A and B are shown apart, each in its own frame.
Chain A
Amino acid sequence: MKVLMFGWEFPPHISGGLGTACYGLTKALVNRGTQILFVVPRAFGDEEMNLIDASEILISEPDKMVLTNLNAHIDTPARLEVIGVPSGIKPYTFGSQSQLYAIENWSYEIQSATQEIGKAKKYKFSGTYGSQLLEEVISYSEVAVALAKHHSFDVIHAHDWLTYQAGIKAKEVSGKPLVMHVHATEFDRAAQIDPQVYAIEREGFEKADRIVAVSDRTKRILVSRYGIPQEKISVVHNGIVAKKKQAAVSAPRLGKKIVSFLGRITYQKGPHYFVEAARKVLLHLPDVHFVMAGSGDLLPAVIERVAQLRLSSRFHFTGFLKGSQVDKIWSMSDLYVMPSVSEPFGLASLEAIQSGVPVIISKQSGVAEVMPHAIAVNFWEVDRLANAMLHVLRRPSLSNTLRKNSKQSLKQITWETAAIKINHLYHELASKN
């Protein structure tokens, strides 16, 4: 089984859960013998896997053709002079089992066009979520055409709306079945739905042969908001990559207890509910500190609210954090709260549990479906949330039990389980094709 997979980010260069999920799933699939051509808009070369860097794909107008030395069987248009620029991407290795883990050893030798033609191009993607996002999404689909034309594969798999156009184009070119993987919908991202994004998502869901949703909650949104028939959607919960035991990291010690919030500071994540609950907690436990790790469009408003409540000396805003810094946050936290208004899954809560931090999640989080023992409250019930926080902070017996039970449940939530389901799906689709 060979899969052409489109993603937008990949560890260690990630801004959210999408990249982490893509990594976990891909690694588990490769483990099960699936070959994966994983495409990202921009590869940095230090990823743990070998990726196809869309920024290095040459597209020649008007053929929109990818030219590589590797694919020598493709007729090189006579008007192009092959120069051959090594991309620097090396066959990736996974420790000693490099052969076993081989996704695909793409050693791209990119050609550039001669000056007299001047029509061939490469898109240099930022691969971020900046102002050029829509343009990049469209350009990315052009790269997908080039890739689909010149590589063989059995299934196409696209992760989130940014790559849906790429998936659709690859399907049009190759005729291969298309899986759309929904890590989040526009309804989970913004208070204001962007009609363009919604349209791209809807088109993607309609043109997909199969949709994978990360939770029942997400499946319900696809049915109710996008009018997608239930039978087209399979729920595959995310897993979590087992982490090596790490040496204790030194982290700032603040106050008696530390409660953390980790994620984008956006409407979807419910940062304001965190602040309001914290305010109530501080009435009873004045020496608790609250760390809000992450950045986002609501950060200024949240800072202002905290200042208005005169709680700035109990709140700490870290800005966006990288992997090792996230580990530090976990190591110092006594409690993690994820009060998401709409959370398709919520990988961060599993990471917290894995790091031995008790968690409180909102009932509006997909992860609640796989964590029967977690404390879950409705995001708008600030009193209940504050109450739960106080209980966990005050009673070691409760926090210890939570910690233990949650770790137990974690054993069931693996990427292997997810990979088995998805592999099954691939075979089903490929055989129909």
Chain B
Amino acid sequence: MSSLQRINPMRSLNLYFQVHQPRRLRGLSFFDIGKNETYFDDALNERIICEVARRCYWPANLLLLKLIQRYPQVRITFSISGSALEQLEKFCPAVLESFRMLASTKSVEFLGETYYHSLCSLVDPLEFADQVTKHSDAIERLFGVKPTVFRNTELIYSDHLGELVQQLGFKGVYLDGIQKILRQRSPNRLYAHPYAGDLKLLLRNYRLSDDIAFRFSDMSWEEHPLTVSKFLYWIEQYPSHDQLINLGMDYETFGEHQKSETGVLRFLDDLLTAIARHKKIEMVTASEAIQRLATEECISVPTHISWADRERNLSAWLGNDMQRDAFRSMNKLKKDVIDTGRPSLLNTWRHLQTSDHFYYMSTKKHDDGKVHEYFSHYSSPYEAFMNYMNAIADLEHKILKAQKPLEKNQPSQHVVKEISAMNNIVEKFSHLI
């Protein structure tokens, strides 16, 4: 370790910001089934993304542009979901333009993820590959560079996912640096995948990340108020062989989850300025970290982890029966959707895969429950479930209608086999939850 310290006295800091907005559903009544209407409340979606843009994306992007101009050594890593990109393009083109300006500075890197911010990595490697490719294409089209580092929806990760990601050509992937997988080791190093080629693992330092993302304005927190010097002091206190600190959080932390009155944007400004001037901390993008740092150890993650809720597993989306059955019902439609040969139906089906739809159906209580509630536009998880299932029923109806001309004299192919014998994909994962 001491040799490493001599070689590189600088500590690397990677800041990764997640930008995501789901395409929220409108209130669908049972009687809307078969009416051939849209499922999405794009007026609501427009209102929300414009509001978030006004409070966060716009002022934060301007701040970053200003900082990068002054300190070219600033480095930021973004991951923007496809559904957020679509909405930005449609409703807030100026904000998208500001992301493009950030991209052109070369101080900013964009990560790969599933276009629809979906959970498809859990059940369908081919679907996963399709969605990742679609996202990479969108990033390349908009920002001119193909992503080389990946972050899966809500940092859902397992060894198997690492393997898939490596096969798709990525050099590294993010995961949450939780104790369960670290077992006394430090999250602040670059790790390697146990068997998937030369895939590097970037572990999020969740404690420092959540100090900003969740606790910044929490008056009951003993460290409140969080100052830049305090935050830097914590980083400086890590042993010198802790070479890479990954902070990952929702970009919406800056002005939306934490409102601007809390001073969170000012904090970001001061923090980045201080780090830019810091003699022993340098900022890196994800791919720079992978290029520059050596890996010494592997981390194995046999079962799925994520960055959500206290459990840091899949329970935020697939924790109860409603979520699992809704997820299963949606996945079951894949073949039929594809068989219709209609891109618009396929796109709709994929928007229904967005993890948020399942997140809203969570029946968790206490603190996690409050976070779920904060993000939900429904008054209850049951309402979210009923609404989602109405969309699924209508989609089934649309698929059936689209199939009809092809099979006039045949019994409906759509009839599902014996329910009891149904191959239940989600069940395979229930033991992991």
Contacts and interface: CB of A to CB of B under 8 A. Distances in A.
A300 B416 CA distance: 26
A283 B321 contact: no
Interface in A221-260: 251-254, 256
B420 to A, nearest CB: 6
A310 interface: yes
A303 B320 CA distance: 11
Interface string B38-49: 000000000000
Interface string B409-420: 000100111111
A282 interface: yes
Interface string A357-373: 00000000000000000
Contacts of A196: none
Contacts of B240: none
B389 interface: yes
Contact of A310 (B33, B34, B386, B419): B419
B31 A253 contact: no
Q: Which of B33, B389, B397, B424 has the most CB of A within 10 A?
A: B389
Contact of A312 (B31, B329, B417): B329
B325 interface: yes
Contacts of B390: 316
Nearest to B414: A287
B161 interface: no
A286 B328 contact: no
Contact of B329 (A253, A254, A313): A313
A54 B390 CA distance: 40
Contacts of B251: none
Contacts of A328: 31
B416 A304 contact: no
A390 to B, nearest CB: 14
A313 B322 contact: no
Interface in A286-345: 286-287, 291, 293, 299-300, 303-304, 306-308, 310-319, 325, 328
A313 B393 contact: yes
Nearest to A291: B30
Given A252-B397, A313-B396, A282 B382 contact: no
B88 interface: no
Contacts of B31: 251-252, 318, 325, 328
A142 to B, nearest CB: 35
B201 interface: no
A303 B322 contact: yes
Contacts of B406: none
Interface in B170-187: none
Contacts of B317: none
Interface string B381-413: 010011001101100110000000000000010
A256 B322 CA distance: 24
15 contacts: A252-B35, A283-B419, A286-B417, A303-B322, A303-B386, A304-B321, A307-B324, A308-B321, A310-B325, A312-B385, A313-B389, A313-B393, A316-B33, A316-B393, A318-B29
Interface of B: 29-35, 320-322, 324-326, 328-329, 332, 382, 385-386, 389-390, 392-393, 396-397, 412, 415-420, 422, 424
Interface of A: 251-254, 256, 279, 282-283, 286-287, 291, 293, 299-300, 303-304, 306-308, 310-319, 325, 328
